[in-house]
Structure 1
Amino acid sequence: MLDLVPVGSGVSPTDALAASTALARRADELGFTRYWVAEHHAMPGIASSAPAVLIAHLAGATSRIRVGSGGVMLPNHQPLVVAEQFGTLDALHPDRIDLGIGRAPGTDQRTARALRRGTAPLGADDFPDQLMELVSYFRGDGPVLAVPAKGARPALWLLGSSDYSAQVAGMLGLPFAFAHHFSAQNTLPALALYRERFRPSAVLQQPYAMIAAAVFAADTDAEARRLAMPSAVQFLQLRKGNPGLLPTPEEAAAHPLSELDEAFIADRMEQQIIGSPDTVRDGVRELLDRTAADELMIVTAMHGAADRIRSYEIVHDALVGTPV
C-alpha cells in the first residue's frame, strides 16, 4: 500500500493523519505486506511531507506490516541525515523498515531549494554519488560515523517513473519499484530495462520488481468510478498548476470540465483499476500478467476515510486465495 495521506475538502491534516493511521492498522490486520508513505511538499491536498516522522508513528501503531518510504527524495536531503533517520527507525523497529529512494525533488524548484537551504538549481545529476554515500553510512565506511546507521539494515529500494532509476537499480542489484500509477506509458520499457541491466548483488540474486497502481474498489463499478473521480479532478488541477485539496465526490461531479479536461480525466482513469470486486480482480490479473511484476503496491486516494478502508478490504477479499 502506498499512502500520500490525502487531505480532503473540509478535512484537516490532523484528520487525514488519523485516517491514515487507522488504514495502516487495518492493513496490518488484513495481512498486507508493506505500507509506504510518499514525500511531497507544498501541496495542500497531501500531508506526507515528512516520511521519517510518519513512518515512526505508523510503525508504532502497527505490529507486523513493513513500513517505509515511497519514497525519500534524495536530492532534497543530505545522505547523512537520511542514514541517521532510517538507522533510528531500523533500531526502533527491526526488520520492518523499508527505505525507498527517489531522485526527483517531489516538488517545485523553489521549495526544493528551501529544503536544501541552497541557491543553486537542484537536479538529479549527482544522484548516484548521493546514493553511494547513503549506503556507505549503513556499511560503516562513510565520510563520518553515522549513529545509529552503522550496521542498520533497512530494506533499500530504488523508485522510478522512467528508465533512469531502472538502469541504476539493475546495475546495483537492488529491488525496483515503478510508479505505474502516474507513468503507465513507461512501465513496460522501464521494467524491461531493469531486468536487462540487472546484476546479482549481496541484496538480490534475481531482479525483483514492484509496480504501484491506482486501484479504486467499491461494491459496484458505478460507485467505484464515483469515488475515483475526486482523485482525477485533483490531479487535473495539479497538472494545471493549481494543486488543491481532494474534493468530495459531489464537488468532483460538479467541477466544470472542458472537452480537453474530460479527455485528460478519461485517459487517466483508463490507466487505473476501478470497479467492483470482479472488475478489480480481473484488472489486477491483467496488469500482473502484462508486467510480470513480482509485487503490486496499491495507491487509493478517496475523500472518505471509511470508503478508502472499504476499498482496500474489497481488494483483499477479491485477491486473497485467488491466483493472480
Structure 2
Amino acid sequence: MAPIIPLSLLDLAPIAEGTSTADALAQTVRFAQTGEKLGYTRLWYAEHHGMPSIASSAPDILIASAGAHTSAIRVGSGGVMLPNHVPLRVAEDFRTLEGLYPGRVDLGIGRAGGSDGRTLQALRSFGGEHFSEQLAELLAFDTDGFPQGHPFGAVRVVPDNIGLPPIWLLGSSGASAHAAGQMGMGYAFAAHFSATPPKPAFDAYRQGFVPSAQFPEPHTIVCVSVVCAPTDEEAQFLSGSQELSWALFHSGRVRKLVAPEEAAAHDYTPGERAIIENQRPLWIVGSPETVKRKILEKIEGTGASEVMIATTMYSYELRLRSIELVAKAFGIEPRA
C-alpha cells in the first residue's frame, strides 16, 4: 500500500537537561539509522549557533556522519545558512559530500543567521541582504558560470569532477518560493515556526517554476513540529518540555531542554503563557490518529509533495518512538 504522503525528518540534535552536547551528537547516528529503517525519505540537519538546547551547528559534518552510518536515506542540510559562509567553501563541502554519498545528498539553503547578533558577528556573517549575491556566486562556482574577466572565473573548485547535489531553498514567503521556482530548485516551507499558510508560497513557486536537471518537476516540502505518543494526554504532557523551553528562551533565560515533569510543575507567568499560546498552533501534538489528522489539515489544498517532521522531546527513546508512531500512522513502508 502506498503511503499517504512521503515523510522526512529534520534533526536539531536537541540537548536535554542532564545530558551533554556529546550525548546529543552521538544520538544523531541512531536517529538517522532509525529514520532509515522506518522508511523516511530524507533526513536534514539544521544550523543553529550558540543555543544550549541545540547541538546541530555544523550540518555538513552531521551529514557526513549520517551518511557513513546509513545506506539509503537521503541526508542533507535544513539548512546551510548561507550568510554565515563563503560560497566557495559551501561548494567544496557539498561536492565532497556528494562524492562520498553519490545520489543521497541534499543542499538546503537559508538566508537567516540562525543565532543572535553577537554570535553572527563572531561568525563574520554577511547578513541576509547579500543572500541573492551569495547564492548566485555559489551557482557560478558549480557551473563555471562567472562572466568573462570575473576574478573568480579562474578559481578551480575541488572536487572538480563532481557537481553540487540538488539545491533546496528554505523559506516561508512568496518571494523565497518564487525565487526557488525560477532557479529550478526544490522549496521547503518552514511551517514549524511560521504561522503563514504555505499555500500562497507554494502557488508562487509552481507558477514561476522553470524545470532543471535536478528538478524536472516542482517539489515542495512542508516542515512541521510534531510530538506523538500513544495517547493525546501523554503527548500533551511530553510536549511540556518544548513549551517551557520555548517560553524560557523567549524570556531571555536560555537553558537545555527541560524535563516534562519540570514543565508540569512550573508556575507559568502571564508572559510565559502568552508566548506559549502564540506558538502552540504551530505544534502538532497528539496520538498517531490526531497527528495524522492535523498534518493532513495543515497540507490540505497546498499540493505539498512531502512532509518533514521536526521532533523536540526530552527523552531520546520517546523521540524515537514518536517518529515510529507517525511513520506507521501514514503507512510508510519500512526498509528491509
Length-normalised TM-score, structure 2: 0.89
Shift of 1:32: 0.6
CA contact (8 A) 1:95 1:153 kept: no
CA contact (8 A) 1:237 1:243 kept: yes
Equivalent residue for 1:293, pick from 291, 304, 316 = 304
Query: Residue in 2 aligned with 1:139?
Result: 143
CA contact (8 A) 1:139 1:151 kept: no
Equivalent residue for 1:164, pick from 175, 178, 184 = 175
Letter in 1 for 2:110: G
Query: Residue in 1 aligned with 2:86?
Result: 78
Shift of 1:234: 1.5
Alignment of 1:1-324 (within 5 A): 1-116=9-124, 122-141=126-145, 143=152, 144-148=155-159, 150-320=161-331
Q: What do the CA deviations read for 1:146-197 (whole angstroms, capped 9, x no partner)?
A: 1015532411100013333212112212110010000022533322322333
CA contact (8 A) 2:194 2:282 kept: no
CA contact (8 A) 1:4 1:47 kept: yes
Name the SS for the 1:185 alignment partner. Answer: coil
Letter in 1 for 2:141: Y
When residues 132 and 150 of structure 1 are mapped into structure 2, their CA distance, relative to the original with a 3 A threshold, is farther
Question: Quick one: percent identity of the two aligned structures?
Answer: 46
Which is worse superposed, 297-306 or 263-272?
Answer: 263-272
CA contact (8 A) 1:137 1:149 kept: no
CA contact (8 A) 1:79 1:131 kept: yes
Name the SS for the 1:41 alignment partner. Answer: coil
CA contact (8 A) 1:174 1:203 kept: yes
What is the rounded CA distance, in whole Å, between the counterparts of 1:321 and 1:86 in structure 2?
A: 29
CA contact (8 A) 1:139 1:150 kept: no
CA contact (8 A) 2:251 2:272 kept: no
Name the SS for the 1:36 alignment partner. Answer: strand
Q: What do the CA deviations read for 1:208-238 (whole angstroms, capped 9, x no partner)?
A: 2101001111010010111112112222222
Name the SS for the 1:215 alignment partner. Answer: strand
Greater share of helix residues, 1 or 2? 1
Shift of 1:81: 0.6
Which is worse superposed, 278-287 or 197-206?
Answer: 197-206
RMSD: 1.8
Which is worse superposed, 137-146 or 15-24?
Answer: 137-146
CA contact (8 A) 2:44 2:78 kept: yes
Name the SS for the 2:107 alignment partner. Answer: strand
CA contact (8 A) 2:221 2:305 kept: yes
Letter in 1 for 2:111: R
Letter in 1 for 2:134: Q
Which is worse superposed, 264-273 or 129-138?
Answer: 264-273
Higher relative contact order at CA 8 Å, sep ≥6: structure 1 or structure 2?
2
Which is worse superposed, 238-247 or 259-268?
Answer: 259-268
Letter in 1 for 2:81: M
Shift of 1:289: 1.5
Shift of 1:319: 0.6
Which is worse superposed, 135-144 or 102-111?
Answer: 135-144
Shift of 1:113: 2.0
Which is worse superposed, 182-191 or 90-99?
Answer: 182-191
Unaligned runs of 5+ in 1: none
Shift of 1:321: 5.9
CA contact (8 A) 1:162 1:186 kept: no
What is the rounded CA distance, in whole Å, between the counterparts of 2:271 and 2:160 in structure 1?
A: 50
CA contact (8 A) 1:166 1:176 kept: yes
What is the rounded CA distance, in whole Å, between the counterparts of 2:22 and 2:164 in structure 1?
A: 31
